[in-house]
A and B are shown apart, each in its own frame.
Chain A
Amino acid sequence: MELAGVEPPPSVTIIDDDPEDREDLMDLLRDHGIEPRPVNDRYGQDIDRLVADILAIGSSFVICDYRLQPKNFASFSGSKVVRRLGMSKQPAMLLTMYQSNNRLELRQERADMPVVVSRRDFEVERLGDYAEICRREFSDNPIDQRRPHRSLIAIRDIRNNHGPTELDVVIPNWRPDESIILPELCLAPGVTTGLEVGDYLLGDVNVGAEDEDDLFFRNVNEVIKACEISDL
């Protein structure tokens, strides 16, 4: 890939509510000669203060755990933090659970988070790449896997038995044989009414993504009704 071999950052700020995990990550970074800078405080709902604290520390990269609530570090998710840091062009990544089960929660926010890695796949050696991915995105030149293209989204099923509506969709230009779940929340508000199985949506999707969890959806705001499609 175009990124191979970017030098790791000299220092990394760590946000993790679990002291064991945090210490472990810090040791790991030290082993690689990277200075870890933990944030130790409780933030409740005050995301502004946390973001300000992180920016004040001034590391060139930030690793943020997804779940900040279990140990009462904060009452918001790490994804919110990473997105806020992105707005300030602060390179940051989200670290998810060992075996990610928040695929659907993250799908809605994935567009604004350049790097999301599960604990299992996390490699210190790639920290330089992770930071570079963020910088490329901030300078409007995202890597191939993160580049959005206007894409067709075929609706295979619509489910709303309980809770929020979910669609089963196929993105022909990504994997024509694989259907994935798309929460209705990823769709623009206007297009959801009257949607039927067999219809198509049009939206910006990073069809270069390797993994389903890396897909993001933006501007899903056009519908092609099944009946509009003419024979060839």
Chain B
Amino acid sequence: MTDRTAVVVGGNRIPFARSHGAYRQASNIDMLTAAIDGLAARFGLSGHRVGEVVGGAVLKHSRDFNLTREAVLGSSLDPHTAACDLQQACATGLEATIYVSNKIRLGQLVDGIAGGADSVSDTPMSVSDGLRRALLAANAAKTLPARLAAISSIRPGHLVPDPPGITEPRTGLSMGEHQALTTSRWGIGRTEQDEVALASHQNLARAWGEGFFDDLVTPYLGVTKDQGVRVDTTLEKLGALKPVFGRGEGATMTAGNSTGFFDGAAVTYLADADYAAEHHLPALARIVDVEVAAGDYTLGGEDLLLAPTYAIPRLLERNHLLWQDFDYYEIHEAFAATVLATLAALNDEAYCRSTLGLSGALGEIDRSRLNVNGSSLAAGHPFAATGGRIVPALAKLLHQRGTVDGRPARGIVSICAAGGQGAVAILEAC
């Protein structure tokens, strides 16, 4: 085994579209294929055998057990390209990046593609448990009477299909309801949430205007730009929205400062640094180190979406870095309040000592370095596609920045996920 360097060569995604809109006819496979094909066109990968393609979807049909491999077979990549499905809720895209970069660093791959797709418009529907059990029993029955008995156990109520679950199985709370608890626990106010949302829209609109996404996005089905971005939004408009999560005075979370439902797909192209150089591929940033973490949220003691606060200190310590040592912070905006609660928690002496077991708070960061080109509140958040949106964009940003005080520009990505999990990665400019 060798210790190689994994670099981000580039990325490609389709514009994120509002659910039940432009991509309503497209499946996860269609969107992931489109993202891969755009990447192949950008880096001359048509007919090329990529080491491995790793991706997934959160809302996944059972027939799509080989979603990523099917997307590869539908793409212009060499059909000899292996693929693997992986899923870690909203951290799927980043976890896929971790998987590929680790294999590159171990010398098992020279290049790989990591990403994900999610459609809220083409979600799987399953039959109810009652109907499912009856059908399975009927199928297993050896005699006609036994089969009829199984079928006769079906009740009209069993015929109502089950949409995909949106609540945490162990708490019965939706992600918004969980975040509402966190928001009120950390005393995150309405205005500061709306300010995060406004900045996200303004930054994303500016980045689109500057052409930042020109080599990161390929139009799909007539959509050329992220549909979530609202150029004309203001604090007044955001402030006029009614809260949708939380109760009473603590109800501060609105449709404006929470992510909506989107369809999309995104992929990152990673390669061994030497391979990239030999093949004249760009090397934007190297994957320095990664960490995943989970919180014990099921009994109410911890927050569902603050698992990255566990991962970040462990990652910092291992890399001898401070929380302030980054030029760019990409903290996924599941909700504006998630970002604010993450920052508040890492700056909270008691939380850092008692919950995280640290010697003290990590402190504050320079907020002007946070989500500088917008994030999920404006771009939209097709769950598994978010990692593939953030990683290439951060890598490009770092590469453009080059060096800071004589060292490579440094960035950190933090993505929270359902199940009380989180994935974090450090990238450094090449």
Same assembly: no
